Amino acid sequence: MKNDNTLHVMELFAGVGGFRLGLEKANPFLFDITWANQWEPSRKAQDAFECYTRNFQSGVHSNEDIATISNETFEQYSPDLVVGGFPCQDYSVARTLSGEQGIQGKKGVLFWEIKRVLESTHPKYVLLENVDRLLKSPSAQRGRDFAVMLTTFRDLGYTVEWRVINAAEYGFAQRRRRVFIFAYKNGISFSDSQNEFNNEEIVFKEGFFAKPFPIKDEPFKNRVDSVKLPKDIVDVSDNFSFNFHTAGIMRNGKIYTVHADPVITKPTPLGDILLDEELVDEKYYLSPEVEEKFKYLRGPKKIERTSASGHKYVFSEGGMSPTDLLDMPGRTMLTSEGSTNRSTHIVEVNGRKRLLAPIECERLNGFPDDWTKGMTDRMRYFCMGNALVVGLIEIMGNRIAEIEDIHTPSEVQIALPLS
């Protein structure tokens, strides 16, 4: 049990620090980020790590492959809260050849490093972020990957809530959909209080996400499903398939999931985050030649193509607005932002078309101006395409602070793994 009034936080796959920034905005006195890891494989320049260390001074900053970091290092920092955004990968598992009970996952899959951290430290809370397609991957066995994750949490003694959140639906300037996963250790005070509610009450009213991100309380109009996870994680990996909806809870291996209908907050329009035009460098304005390229890329098209096997087919693509509407929230920003690409934002101001400046991309995610200054523009766009909306984490940080305020911190009763 901790003797101080802070939550010691371990930040994994930290990027440029969106999780930390959001938590510190929520309550800098509660959240103490003691250790953070950011390492970009196959890159000599570690731009995101350098950005992180430039903006945050306290705590230990690790720029190592997390797979090479010892369990003892994790144990040393003894986090109460583990946070991180991690890639959607193939989470399939299998038994080892050497032992009936041995389990192994595919090498290089970063979720297994999260599992290793949790096994070593048993934090009270875990908060993760991923792309929303995680709930339906892989296409050949819908829901398997997320089910493997939930099974892992179950076996480590956690209850899990999840919610797909579109930031624009809760007041922000970007239509960015991501799945957020909040897990809490069985046996802590918050877990005991949640056990007083049934699944429907948690998902619609009383849960971690339901309070700050309300949804319409009409379960009879929503798609609702439930299922129990198989006991064996290899059975889950090999055979389990399930249609996970955008909100749900897993406790003791039992899953309840609904298609959430958000109570929408008026979004911030894209025009509100733009720089004054006199501050925009001329290099961001489109030349006539580049304008023509974007006109083609964003327009409707039907193109005959030939596959590698020689099969001919027609690739078709619908048209989109030639510029992004300034009275609407921005579209999801991708890592290709700023390139001559269909997904790149194009705004028209005073009759001239241009790209978003890097500062505007930072604003689109809720970062302070020039957070990524010092990188090339290309890397600034890339990092913001990878980042999360900081304001969502601030809201979740406030929710954790509320939980901590209501529920006196209690020592975690470590749940024994299921046999």
Residue 193, domain extent: 7-264+389-406
Mean pLDDT of 27-37: 97
Q: Examine residue 236 and state whether it is found in any structural domain, yes or no.
A: yes
Q: At what angle do helices 111-121 and 144-155 cross, to 10 degrees?
A: 10
Mean pLDDT of 150-174: 98
The count of other CB atoms within 10 Å of the CB of residue 354 is 21
- Of residues 59 and 313, more confidence is placed in 59
Clarify whether residues 172 and 274 are in a common domain.
no
Question: Domain of 366: which CATH number?
Answer: 3.90.120.10
Q: What is the DSSP letter of 323?
A: S
Per-residue pLDDT tens digits for 116-160: 999 999 999 999 999 999 999 999 999 999 999 999 999 999 999
Q: Examine residue 203 and state whether it is found in any structural domain, yes or no.
A: yes
CA atoms within 13 A on the CB side of 51: 30
Angle at CA of residue 228, ends 149 and 221, nearest 5°: 95
Mean pLDDT of 40-58: 93
Specify the residue for token string 């890592």.
Answer: 335
For the CA atoms of 127, 203, 226, 218, the dihedral, rounded to the nearest 10 degrees, stands at -150
Clarify whether residues 84 and 189 are in a common domain.
yes
Active-site annotation, residues:
88
DSSP 141-177: STTHHHHHHHHHHHHTTEEEEEEEEEGGGBT-SB--E
Clarify whether residues 216 and 319 are in a common domain.
no
- Position 101 scores a pLDDT of 56
Clarify whether residues 398 and 333 are in a common domain.
no
Q: Examine residue 127 and state whether it is found in any structural domain, yes or no.
A: yes
Clarify whether residues 260 and 141 are in a common domain.
yes
- Position 223 scores a pLDDT of 83
- Position 220 scores a pLDDT of 58
Question: Domain of 93: which CATH number?
Answer: 3.40.50.150
Q: Examine residue 191 and state whether it is found in any structural domain, yes or no.
A: yes
Clarify whether residues 221 and 320 are in a common domain.
no
Clarify whether residues 283 and 182 are in a common domain.
no
Q: Examine residue 1 and state whether it is found in any structural domain, yes or no.
A: no
Mean pLDDT of 215-228: 82
pLDDT score of 219 more than 80: no
Mean pLDDT of 358-385: 98
Clarify whether residues 331 and 197 are in a common domain.
no
Specify the residue for token string 């790590």.
Answer: 49
Q: Examine residue 2 and state whether it is found in any structural domain, yes or no.
A: no
Mean pLDDT of 352-381: 98
Clarify whether residues 381 and 394 are in a common domain.
no
Specify the residue for token string 């009270």.
Answer: 124
DSSP 344-359: S-EEEETTEEEEPPHH
Clarify whether residues 46 and 115 are in a common domain.
yes
Q: Examine residue 14 and state whether it is found in any structural domain, yes or no.
A: yes
Clarify whether residues 93 and 146 are in a common domain.
yes
Clarify whether residues 195 and 320 are in a common domain.
no
Mean pLDDT of 3-22: 93
Please count the structural domains in the chain: 2
